[in-house]
Amino acid sequence: MAVDKKELNSEQHTLYSEVVPEKKELVDKEKNLYKITPKHTKYRIYIGRFFELKRGLHAVFNQLKEAKENDSLEFIINSGGGFVNEGMQFFNIMQEKFPGKTTAYLDNYGYSMGAMLFSMCHKRVAYPYSDFMYHNYSGGASGKGGELVARVKHSDKRLNSFFKDVIVGNGFLTKLEFEKMQLGKDFWMNTKELCKRGIATHVLIDGKEIESKEYLKQLKKEKKKAKKS
């Protein structure tokens, strides 16, 4: 039972945290063995648009900076994207404080940076009608003429490296598909495609999280049953 709950709002996102007390679970009665889950804080962020213009995310990240070793981070994603640099801030805090302890729920869609954030997490849970889309970044630059080309080239190299590490590095798109994405192709995916590519690791259906492989087997069974009827 949680003993403490907190809420922190930014313009586009909301961070909740709750302290979860230590839990003891009997795993072997004869040997008197218990599985102990230590006291920890569970952080949950509802993700909207990556477009913080007024308040920024200082308070949110300051809270996450206080995370301890056993704490976990959960994202509830319903986002059409926005500023890539803002999404990269989430990537940095995940690397620093929550390695291997992040879960994302694709509720209800993730496009652009929303798709990237989903892809960055350790455990990635979709719903039967989740929607997803990868595409290349868009942006602009202003300043003195001589500086514009250097700035654009630098940003392009940096962002392409980031996108490639997350998308191709994890095997979610092939190198050829990624090149097509860089040239302007959008990759739209439903839950079945997310599971086939390994982008979604689990699907939440009928109140249970099942592995993506199991979900694909269920779809095949349903398809065969529909053909027979």
Query: Within this chain, do residues 87 and 127 fall inside the same structural domain, yes or no?
Result: yes
- 9 and 118 fall within a common domain: yes
Q: Are 131 and 147 within one domain?
A: no
Residue 52's contacts (CB-CB under 8 Å, 6 or more residues apart) are: 10, 11, 12, 13, 83, 86
- In this structure, the number of other CB atoms found within 10 A of the CB of residue 227 comes to 7
Which DSSP state fits 70?
A: T
- Is 212 in the same domain as 127? yes
Verify that 117 and 209 share a domain, yes or no: yes
Claim to verify: residue 12 and residue 99 sit in the same structural domain: yes
Q: Any residues with CB less than 8 A from the CB of 171 and at least 6 apart, and which?
A: 197, 198
Query: Same domain, yes or no, for 167 and 113?
Result: no
Q: Specify the pLDDT at position 14.
A: 95
Are 50 and 150 contained in the same domain?
no
Are both 193 and 165 inside the same structural domain? Answer: no
- Whether 83 and 23 map to the same domain: the answer is yes
Question: Which pLDDT tens digits describe the chain residue by residue (229 residues)?
Answer: 445 788 988 999 999 999 999 988 888 888 888 888 899 999 999 999 999 988 789 999 999 999 999 999 999 999 999 999 999 999 999 999 999 999 999 999 999 999 999 999 999 999 999 999 999 998 666 767 777 878 888 888 999 999 999 999 999 999 999 999 999 999 999 999 999 999 999 999 999 999 999 999 999 999 888 888 7
Q: Which amino acid is at 29?
A: K
One domain for residues 179 and 198: no
Residue ranges making up the domain that contains 195: 4-135+187-228
Task: Indicate if 103 and 168 belong to the same structural domain.
Answer: no
CATH code of the domain containing 191:
3.90.226.10
Contact indicator for 84, 137 with CB cutoff of 8 Å? yes
Q: Residues 140, 93, 166, 49: is their CA dihedral positive or negative?
A: negative
Number of structural domains, the chain? 2
pLDDT at residue 55, as a whole number: 78
